[in-house]
Amino acid sequence: MSTRFADKSVLVTGGGTGIGRAIALAFAREGARVAVAGRTGGPLAETVALIEAAGGKAAALIADVSKGEDAARLVRETVEAFGGLDVAVNNAGILGTPAPIADLDEDDWQRVIDINVTGTFLAMKHQIAHMRANGGGAIVNLSSNLGTHMRMSGLGAYAVSKAAVATLTRSAARDHIGEGVRINSVSPGPVETTMSTRPGENAADKADRMKSGVPAGRAGAPEEIAAAVLHLASPEAAFTVGADLVLDGGITA
């Protein structure tokens, strides 16, 4: 069993379900103490229970990262619970209500930008402040291939938000690598999660839709995204700075 993150403290936002849960579980399996954050307590408690059942240590922190005071509190409470913050994964995000740009409600647009972009900015702001004062650390942000390499009709707000996350990652990486804080992002393509299910869609139709146009012939698994995140956060990626790792089964190859 790998122990790359033994005695390390990790914060995962959006850690209650899907990719975020897979990331939290993967860090715990490799020895990390994991704080999982989100806006809803039930899913967070489930993630914590899974980690603890496997012998790991975890804590659930309820917060809205689009609020500066919550983003600051997440860092403070992680440090209080586990003695530090070595790795942060900024996964919290929403898809928003799909609509063409001309029909997109202004409030829906703002909500996507607030959570996906401002939330990532605020989270990094406070994570970096702690890390650079305490010997450094690693941050991995969740972008998307819809923001970095391709587009899909009706998802303009989401695509813009994820393009912004990738650009924000590169800017922060250049700003802070000299202070010992290493920052990268991953851009998943279609991944099998609850969020990827469309209203009224059955499992078979979803599987057919999600593998359509994917050279690998299938959607990705949350655990595959988690493996890439752990690599970028690990000492093995010490020379990787400001990178965006695309994980989309060859769609953008």
> Residue 14 pLDDT more than 80?
yes
Identify the pLDDT of residue 221: 95
Range 59-81 average pLDDT: 97
Q: In the chain, pLDDT over 90 holds for what percent of residues?
A: 84
160-193 pLDDT, tens digit each: 999 999 999 999 999 999 999 999 999 999 998 7
What is the CATH topology of the domain spanning 9-247?
Rossmann fold (3.40.50)
- CA–CA dist 74, 102 (Å, integer): 37
Report whether 194 contacts 18 (CB < 8 A). yes
Q: What is the mean pLDDT of the chain?
A: 93
pTM to 2 decimals? 0.93
User: Is 64 among the catalytic positions?
Assistant: no
- CA–CA dist 90, 87 (Å, integer): 10
Neighbours of 235 (CB within 10 A): 8
**Angle subtended by helix axes 156-176 and 119-133, to nearest 10:** 20
Identify the pLDDT of residue 195: 61
> Residue 197 pLDDT more than 70?
no
DSSP string, the chain: ---TTTT-EEEEETTTSHHHHHHHHHHHHTT-EEEEEES-HHHHHHHHHHHHHTT-EEEEEE--TTSHHHHHHHHHHHHHHHS---EEEE--------B-GGG--HHHHHHHIIIIIIHHHHHHHHHHHHHHHTT-EEEEEE--HHHHT---TTBHHHHHHHHHHHHHHHHHHHHHGGGTEEEEEEEE-SB-SGGGPPTT--HHHHHHHHHTT-TTSS-B-HHHHHHHHHHHHSGGGTT--S-EEEESTTTT-
Q: In the chain, pLDDT over 70 holds for what percent of residues?
A: 92
Copy the structure tokens of residue 192.
Answer: 């099998």
Which of the four pLDDT bands, split at 50, 70 and 90, describes residue 198? Answer: low
- CA–CA dist 10, 191 (Å, integer): 23
Neighbours of 238 (CB within 10 A): 9
What distances in angstroms separate CA 199 from CA 17, 240, 253, one per listed residue? 18, 39, 30
Identify the pLDDT of residue 154: 77
Half-sphere exposure of 179 (CA within 13 A, CB side): 15
| Active-site residue, from 27, 109, 121, 158 | 158
> Residue 20 pLDDT more than 70?
yes
Copy the structure tokens of residue 97.
Answer: 């209500």
Which of the four pLDDT bands, split at 50, 70 and 90, describes residue 196? Answer: low
